[in-house]
């Protein structure tokens, strides 16, 4: 989206927003609680904090980042789902929440039923990387040939059962008609460290995580699982261009509220987040992380969430995953 289009969209949103925001004139009159259902320092936390800082300045109230990690992100989400829908408790959700109820029988929430989508914060494509000291694959085609010659032998790590990079493995196996040896870890960090140490062969990870290691030759990127090539990895093709059509895997982080939160409050927070996303400081952080986000209406974002819930639910169901 060009800067002119961004300014036009934002200007129109703010002009329209002035009238509807009058309906939320008494809100907020106390601090807001943003539940981040992961530990501090992770990607969701990284994207939440600059937006929360901007929102606090814009709304004139403290925005508290409340890290509630545990149970694959379901613990914090369940707490947010049970909160009063008064505009003071929010969830910073991520891709895994779209399909969590299917794989966690005791998740305690349903993203499509219990929450009102507000705005995307960031979208980051995944990248398939290998340790070149372990695998002699120059590109995705080589990797697939090796996997077909050595079924169930090539090890591919993930951040844990049911995570987005685990489902990326499931999708890769299905699309490429290969069988890999999936090795789940307790987080992407440990998985990446073992990949670098030569304990496993491959990994799907967020672009921001792997770029430094690709640039110094410790890892080799075989494909970016996004719609288009990425400036941070200019010589790496998309998975589509590398031979797997329409193969898109990425993580998103977004703001949600308990379902019955009043619409004027949702609309005001949506517009505040949209303002934050074109703030120079925020844009610089996003560029450094390889993150993107499109300015969009709350209705458009809601449709995106509905589509993503349906898409990931199909993949999770096909994988026959269920985690106690």
Which of helix, strand or coil describes residue 291? coil
pLDDT attached to residue 1? 46
Parallel, antiparallel or unpaired: strands 63-67 and 32-36: parallel
Among 224, 243, 270, give the residue marking a domain's end: 224
**Co-location of 119 and 171 in the same domain:** no
**Co-location of 143 and 85 in the same domain:** no
Which of helix, strand or coil describes residue 139? coil
| Structural domain includes residue 232 | no
Share of the chain above pLDDT 70, in %: 92
Domains in the chain, number: 2
**Co-location of 289 and 259 in the same domain:** yes
Tell me the H-state helices in 205-321: 207-215, 263-277, 280-289, 298-318
**Co-location of 12 and 104 in the same domain:** yes
**Co-location of 17 and 105 in the same domain:** yes
**Co-location of 149 and 46 in the same domain:** no
| Structural domain includes residue 229 | no
pLDDT attached to residue 5? 44
Beta strands in 149-209 (DSSP E): 155-158, 181-184, 202-206
Identify any residues that bridge with 263 across adjacent strands, giving them in sequence order. Answer: none
CATH number at residue 152: 3.40.190.10
**Co-location of 115 and 141 in the same domain:** no
| Structural domain includes residue 238 | no
Alpha-carbon distance values, 302 to 118, 256, 266, 270, 321 (Å)? 8, 10, 12, 12, 26
Average pLDDT over residues 105-110: 91
**Co-location of 112 and 28 in the same domain:** yes
Query: What CA–CA distance (Å, rounded) separates 228 from 232?
Result: 12
Domain span at 169: 125-224
Average pLDDT over residues 225-230: 84
Give tens-digit pLDDT for 71-91. Answer: 778 999 999 999 999 999 999
Query: What CA–CA distance (Å, rounded) separates 36 from 10?
Result: 26
Is residue 16 predicted with pLDDT exceeding 50?
A: no
**Co-location of 110 and 30 in the same domain:** yes
**Co-location of 202 and 297 in the same domain:** no
**Co-location of 103 and 140 in the same domain:** no
Among 209, 224, 239, give the residue marking a domain's end: 224
Identify any residues that bridge with 25 across adjacent strands, giving them in sequence order. Answer: none
């Amino acid at each position: 989206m060009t800067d002119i289009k961004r300014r036009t969209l934002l200007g129109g949103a703010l002009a329209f927003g002035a009238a509807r925001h009058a309906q939320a004139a008494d809100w907020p009159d106390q601090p807001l609680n943003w539940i981040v259902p992961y530990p501090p320092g992770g990607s969701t936390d990284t994207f939440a904090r600059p937006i929360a800082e901007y929102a606090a300045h814009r709304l004139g109230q403290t925005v508290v980042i409340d890290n509630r990690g545990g149970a694959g992100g379901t613990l914090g989400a369940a707490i947010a789902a049970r909160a009063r829908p008064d505009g003071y408790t929010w969830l910073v959700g991520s891709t895994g929440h779209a399909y969590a109820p299917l794989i966690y029988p005791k998740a305690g929430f349903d993203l499509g039923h219990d929450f009102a989508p507000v705005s995307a914060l960031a979208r980051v494509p995944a990248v398939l990387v290998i340790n070149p000291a372990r695998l002699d694959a120059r590109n995705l085609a080589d990797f697939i040939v090796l996997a077909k010659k050595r079924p169930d032998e090539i090890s591919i790590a993930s951040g844990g059962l049911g995570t987005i990079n685990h489902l990326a493995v499931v999708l890769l196996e299905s699309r490429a008609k290969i069988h890999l040896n999936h090795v789940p870890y307790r987080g992407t960090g440990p998985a990446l460290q073992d990949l670098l140490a030569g304990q496993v062969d491959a990994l799907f990870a967020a672009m921001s995580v792997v770029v430094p290691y690709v640039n110094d030759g410790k890892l080799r990127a075989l494909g970016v699982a996004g719609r288009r090539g990425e400036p941070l990895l200019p010589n790496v093709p998309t998975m589509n261009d590398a031979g797997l059509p329409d193969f898109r895997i990425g993580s998103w982080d977004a703001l949600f509220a308990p379902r019955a939160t009043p619409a004027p409050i949702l609309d005001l927070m949506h517009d505040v987040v949209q303002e934050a996303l074109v703030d120079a400081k925020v844009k610089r952080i996003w560029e450094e992380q390889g993150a993107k986000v499109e300015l969009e209406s709350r209705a458009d974002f809601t449709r995106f969430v509905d589509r993503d819930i349906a898409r990931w639910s199909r993949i999770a169901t096909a994988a026959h995953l269920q985690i106690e």
